[in-house]
């Protein structure tokens, strides 16, 4: 585990948050666990366990994401995002115009 940065969430908290978010999307789409299970190919028992504990295989999470239209977000979860260094932007020396050299 990387210890350079402070840990904001534990592994368990992340797993439970993902499960809670997936359940909220399922409910918002007016799907029962059984309906989501049938559409995704994830067994009902696996889905039920996931919503309670956060435990699921990556393959099954991807199956759920497709049915819930979250596959793009899942596919890009670890994309590198370029964040400008604000310190560098603030301390950048001001550019001056070059003088026009006469003939």
- Asked if 19 contacts 5 with a C-beta cutoff of 8 angstroms, the reply is no
CATH number at residue 60: 1.10.260.40
How would you write the pLDDT of the chain (103 residues) with one tens digit per residue? 555 667 788 999 999 999 999 999 999 999 999 999 999 999 999 999 999 999 999 999 999 999 999 999 999 988 887 766 666 556 656 666 766 666 5
Domain residue limits at 65: 11-90
Q: Is residue 102 part of a domain?
A: no
Position 40 in a domain = yes
Half-sphere exposure of 40 (CA within 13 A, CB side): 28
Q: Please tell me the total count of domains within the chain.
A: 1
């Amino acid at each position: 585990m990387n210890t350079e940065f402070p840990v904001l969430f534990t592994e368990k908290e992340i797993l439970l948050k993902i499960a809670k978010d997936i359940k909220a999307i399922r409910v918002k789409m007016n799907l029962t666990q059984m309906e989501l299970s049938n559409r995704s190919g994830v067994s009902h028992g696996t889905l039920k366990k996931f919503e309670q504990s956060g435990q699921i295989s990556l393959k099954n999470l991807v199956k759920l994401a497709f049915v819930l239209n979250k596959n793009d977000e899942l596919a890009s979860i670890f994309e590198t995002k370029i964040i400008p260094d604000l310190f560098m932007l603030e301390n950048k020396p001001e550019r001056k115009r070059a003088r026009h050299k006469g003939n």
